[in-house]
Chain A
């Protein structure tokens, strides 16, 4: 008689040719990318665009991580900024108060990577900053677990409400925190950890956090987030997530523990949102206050995921980049027709017949954008003020034209020119 145990268990010979080096190689690539952006691009683009570059990275982290919940497992979380806030405030408080304890001030104690070239490479300040961000991510993950465990048993729409409520609770709690942030070492020395945790700046925000965030750190974390998301998506583990999105009943019948996997996706996403919060908290030019991290921020992130395509990592990242740059572009909108023309010609070249409709759509969009631009110039309107209207409008159009987002569940490179689709699945590697 057969035993009650499974007879087939995936054998796990250490795959030939696979070593730890191989599995860590992309991480080295990530460091190289971050360094290239930091040392190569940053000096060329000046401080203002450097900030945009960092904002893009932070939003990429947020969108790609939310995509793990909303895109992979098909849940609908609209409280991502709540996790960002938890991570951001945790990181800010740790950096700020630890700096006082260690150095007697909350100034920069950084190296090249933190934008203060004098002090050498990786210094104590950088270490503190990265540690704070990781701690922020961990606390956000804990929050994700506490929120997710009870609510992920519920049907999808209830989850949306719970996450919305969570985000608001975090915001209100932070608003209620004590607004006196001590700025003298002596005062800080007298405070207990509990007191520190309560002095977070209230409605005015947490000011005085040193600006450790640089393109290097932002893009290193962004690359790691992307790497994790891709590895999860293209794995047995990630397919369990995807199966939940496709059909919960069938997924469960295939042995996927629904609640457990949903909670894990939620915790993973919250972790990265917390890190993004930490980066945001230490960024120059941003205000770490509860208003910035409220529902509107959550909504921004949801839009990025929906526009990019639920489940498409590259789509979410691209949408994050576009929506970050958009307000800057809108301030002085350039002509779009050259771009539109190039796109139309390209579409017609690679997809002769099928591309005709797409080309027409592109032409219509180009004309419409030019019209809006002209009207705005004529009336002296700053389009950036109408950002949210444009977002909402583009969402509406998107839901009609491409209900699954720009790239659906696939990645950008799954759309090959010449109409033929590449094998959607890739062997391990």
Chain B
């Protein structure tokens, strides 16, 4: 394996007595597409929160291209190049679809308040670039016809895609997707597989995917890490993971791993 782009080692956090994530290791190479699965409450979202600075890990480290990210604030993590979507949609509901994406672009602008107030040619130029990029992102996700609608009025599937578009607008190196298929209907899910696969090349991005829909995960992920009660119980290719007795046991009574 190449030198990892995202290098996570020994990441741990507990809430009260509960070890939500314990000693979590994961390496992602450039343009990898890996999966993170596990039963409800296994700690998957908590891993994302640790990576993006929402929670501060009690132990362990996160490195992006050699740079230590542990301890950074969420907006600094975003600037460093990790973007995410949220499990429960967290769109900017009273803003238009286009504005949701444009906010993602703000991070990469260089004009400040004076430029904004004076509306300098530079500011206008950057604003145009943002608009062009946002429109491009929206059409990538099939949202171009909805650009002027308020985000809160979107149907569920569109919301999930808008979350992805917004995250990509920050131009991340690593994209963390928290259950992007949740609430989508079967045709949408099929389209989503192709979409996510394509993102890697189009946006030169590495993807870590949390997903309960095994059809999606097993189809598109190259490697899968399985969490249960905060502990990593299996790592491997989809085929290996599916055969793993511990994984099967963890899922017994809940979802089944096989489709």
Contact = CB atoms under 8 A, between A and B. Distances in A.
A9 B110 contact: yes
A254 B131 contact: no
A50 to B, nearest CB: 30
A315 to B, nearest CB: 14
Contacts of A258: 75
Contact of B90 (A23, A238, A247): A247
Report whether over half of chain A's contact residues are helix, strand or loop; otherwise say mixed.
loop
Contact of B83 (A253, A311, A423): A253
Given A1-B30, A243-B92, A254-B104, A6 B66 contact: no
B217 interface: no
A268 B113 CA distance: 10
A12 B129 contact: yes
Contact of B64 (A4, A242, A429): A4
A231 B171 CA distance: 25
A228 to B, nearest CB: 5
Nearest to A240: B106
A428 B148 contact: no
Given A239-B106, A409-B94, A424-B150, A255 B133 contact: no
Interface residues of B, number: 68
A413 interface: no
Interface in B80-128: 80-81, 83-84, 86, 90-96, 98-99, 102-113, 116-128
A11 interface: yes
Given A235-B116, A254-B170, A424-B150, A2 B106 contact: no
Given A9-B110, A14-B121, A23-B121, A428 B128 contact: yes
A379 interface: no
Interface string A228-258: 1001100111111011011101111111111
Contacts of A425: 96, 98-99, 147-148
B113 to A, nearest CB: 6
Contacts of B80: 4
Given A236-B127, A239-B99, A249-B74, 16 more contacts: A2-B204, A10-B108, A12-B111, A15-B128, A23-B119, A23-B121, A237-B106, A239-B102, A239-B103, A242-B92, A242-B103, A250-B92, A253-B74, A255-B170, A424-B96, A428-B124
3 closest A-B pairs by beta carbon, nearest first, are: A255-B107, A246-B92, A255-B78
Interface of A: 1-4, 6-15, 18-20, 22-24, 228, 231-232, 235-240, 242-243, 245-247, 249-258, 264, 268, 311, 408-409, 423-425, 427-429
